[in-house]
Amino acid sequence: MIGVFLGIAVVLVAFGGLLAATDAALAALSRVDLADLASRSRSRRSLLAIADDVGAHVNAVNFLRVVSETGAAVLVTLALTIVIEEWWWVLLLSVLIMTATSFVLVGSSPRSVGRAHARGVIGFAAPLVRGIRVILGPVADLLVAIGNRVTPGRPSTATFSSEEQLLSMVDEATEADVLEEDDRELIHSIFEWGDTVVREVMIPRTDMVTVDDDVTAGQAMGQFLRTGVSRMPVTGRDVDEVLGILYLRDVARLLHEGRRDSDAVLVTELARPAQFVPESKKADDTLREMQREANHLAMVVDEYGGIAGLVTLEDLIEELVGDISDEYDRDVADVTELGEGRWRVRAALATDELGDLFGIELDDDDVDSVGGLLTKVLGRLPDVGSTVTVSGLVLTAERTDGRRGRLRTVVVERDPDLADAEEAFGTDTPAAGVRTPARGIRTGARAPEKEQR
């Protein structure tokens, strides 16, 4: 009798191992993989049925695996009771034997084989899996339904329960050299892009290159050549009155045709209708709209109806794939250390990145960039040498260019008076002694300045 019990237990353990390998293989293959395997397998109907409802088949397989392991444990216990009289010895030995057996022969090894040879395992076990589902499916479904009522939530057969879990798996795949670092950054950018609004991507109003409505085509061509842009908003009395968008190719075509009156043609006659989008609109929706309307440039409108800036297709795509440099981009370092606690930063550097650089909380709901923060506190457009103090930091406008006096770089250092006070009182704030920029800020590396194209 002992031999019968142990023999059946061995068969059940082996069967449980096969089911564990099958479960791991199903987890490793997608529905597309199963459908592709079905087109080249003799078990085509079974594989297609499994691909149609993977979760139900996984539940049935797991249910029968648990039954097999439980049955084997009971049979081993019965066999031991025949040769051992002390009940506690029987329980102890059966627990030790089945724990080791289940871990090695059902849990660990078969699952490793199933993950490593998923297609081969499923190709072999597909008819068995389908049969188990047909016979035990209702019972397994009932138990799963009861479990879901007790612990409601996302079904256990779901591959990912959240966006964070998926991104975490992408990070793990990168660490294991399954994905390249560039691929990881692209995947993260795609998910972050869904939450990005146009205001975060646009070229601000103060940095726009525009052309007045009384300018001729010849004069506009000169402005195109000086600035290096290919499209310019045509404005009326002020920047908020956008009459259209002037394209370089339209001006070039007119001048190339050699019409006698070409130099007298006003830009308003060549301007195309402008597209307007609210600054709160999602970047992905804006990209689709611009593709649909075949526009490369759109004007961004704030909540009061004024012009907040403009956004181009290049700006939107750069949010996904990173900076796209061309022959017109001028290189400006994000952050450059000048020594003695002084740093040169781009005026377009985000305020939170500057805060990370000095180890302080630096956030403002009204502005996003260092240049914007300096302008807000100063109360006017900064000149070279204009200085303000914000949150213990001294910001000094270093370089401006263009006829509009566009701010390019700012020199930042900790307030000397605050530093002396901290030293006198022996305080040690996070900002003290900072010499290494936060992660993600390019120090000394040349980064293309975002410009209108």
Q: Which of 223, 312, 236 is nearest to 275 (CA)?
A: 312
pLDDT digits 0-9 by tens, 160-179:
556 677 778 788 878 877 77
Ordered DSSP codes for 208-248: ---EETT-BHHHHHHHHHHH--SEEEEESSSTT-EEEEEEH
Task: Tell me what pLDDT residue 401 has.
Answer: 60
Q: What would the mean pLDDT of 126-148 be, rounded to a whole number?
A: 78
Task: Tell me what pLDDT residue 162 has.
Answer: 61
Q: Other C-beta atoms within 10 Å of 385: how many?
A: 9
Pairing of strands 231-235, 211-212: parallel
Q: What would the mean pLDDT of 128-139 be, rounded to a whole number?
A: 83
Question: Encoding tokens for residue 414?
Answer: 């900790």
Domains, in order of start, for the chain = 2-150 (no CATH), 202-321 (3.10.580.10), 331-448 (3.30.465.10)
Q: Can you tell me the distance from the alpha carbon of 124 to that of 110, in angstroms, rounded to the nearest whole number?
A: 14
Pairing of strands 203-204, 307-312: antiparallel
pLDDT digits 0-9 by tens, 12-45:
988 988 999 998 888 888 888 888 888 888 888 8
pLDDT band, residue 430 (cuts 50/70/90): very low
Q: Other C-beta atoms within 10 Å of 181: how many?
A: 9
